[in-house]
Amino acid sequence: MHDVLDPDSDRGRVYRSLVGHPRESAARLAARCGLGEALVGALLKELAAEDIVVMTDSGAGEPTWEALSPMQVVEALAQRDDAVRAARRQVGTELEQLYRFVRKDAGHYGALEVVEDAARILTVSRQLQQSARRQIRVIDVPPYSGTADHYLEQEVLQRERMAAGVVYRTIYPGSAFDDSVAWPNMARMISAGEQARTLDDPPMKLAISDSDLAVVTLSADGHPGVVSLLIRPSSLLRALSNVFESLWRLAVPVSATGIGTQIDARDRQILTLMASGATDDAIARHLGLGRRTVVRRVSVLLAGLGATTRFQAGVQAARRGWL
């Protein structure tokens, strides 16, 4: 939403043009902004969905558009920023609860069990998934303790459970795009129906089955291997569930489209220039391309990356190793 105030972004150019020229059609806006009419139409729909512009009736059959007050837009931006800060504070509060709970002696908290045996840890992971009726929520970060065969079996199990109607929602670290060894099944699982998002630095390795069982896996203190904490229905399990949901709202959706895909040198140059803040005109001059060609390629790249702004496109492209 912030890019609507950026005069160099496509959304910013459309909004700024409407501020100065009320009740314009998409065709006239496209001509004023030097953008394709189809692209302007799509941008107007996005802006309308965010309550930044509204469609007006021209009385001549062709709809026209009007910008909402810039002060309203700025206020909405401020409110959204406040909501994000509040969500982060909530995550911090919930993680603080987790921090205090896991440092209690397990013998004094009946809902918590410590498991250190590697074979049993993997068995518990399998049982957690097999017992799920509605959903499995996962934060997938190191440490890893299974063999290559285990992760192949895990892929088969996940496919079986998804086929049975169990929803998998997984948060991966942003580095997942850079490491095909640590996350070998990610693209295949997303293609199979897993809902996936990425977060720069997830705070823990976690799996939750419905609201019945959670497993937090940590590096063992003082010796190699891992330790798992099994948490049964309790206030701690509810806190972990809230942590996951808060992080899920902050994470960036991942599309299977384009994962591992290579792009040609020209598109890489365009993406690099976009990420540096260059306008379409500047990109066209720098690369010796026509402006329409640049606008068309930028539109295709944004769609392929699942991005609505140039900044998002730069982040997604960097995560996929395209820059």
Q: Higher confidence at residue 313 or residue 110?
A: 313
Could you tell me the two tokens for 99?
């921090």
67-81, 103-117, 197-211, range with the lowest pLDDT:
103-117
Instruction: Return the number of other C-beta atoms located less than 10 Å from residue 91's C-beta.
Output: 19
Could you tell me the two tokens for 162?
């998804």
Return left, alpha or beta for 62; rule: phi > 0 is left, psi -120 to 50 is alpha, else beta: beta
For the stretch 130-168, pLDDT in tens is 989 999 999 998 777 677 787 888 899 999 999 999 999
Q: Quick one: pLDDT at residue 320?
A: 66
CA–CA gap between residue 2 and residue 73 (Å, rounded): 9
Bridge-based pairing state of the strands 167-173 and 213-219: unpaired
Mean pLDDT of 168-190: 74
Q: Higher confidence at residue 90 or residue 319?
A: 90
Mean pLDDT of the chain: 83
Instruction: Return the number of other C-beta atoms located less than 10 Å from residue 114's C-beta.
Output: 13
Q: What whole-number percentage of the chain has pLDDT above 70?
A: 85
Q: Quick one: pLDDT at residue 103?
A: 65
pLDDT band at residue 257 using 50, 70 and 90 as cut-offs? very low
Residue 180 has pLDDT above 60, yes or no: no
Q: Is 36 exposed, middle or buried (0-12, 13-18, 19+ CB in 10 A)?
A: middle
Residue pair 294/267 in contact by the 8 Å Cβ criterion: no
Q: Quick one: pLDDT at residue 258?
A: 46
pLDDT band at residue 83 using 50, 70 and 90 as cut-offs? confident
Residue 27 has pLDDT above 70, yes or no: yes
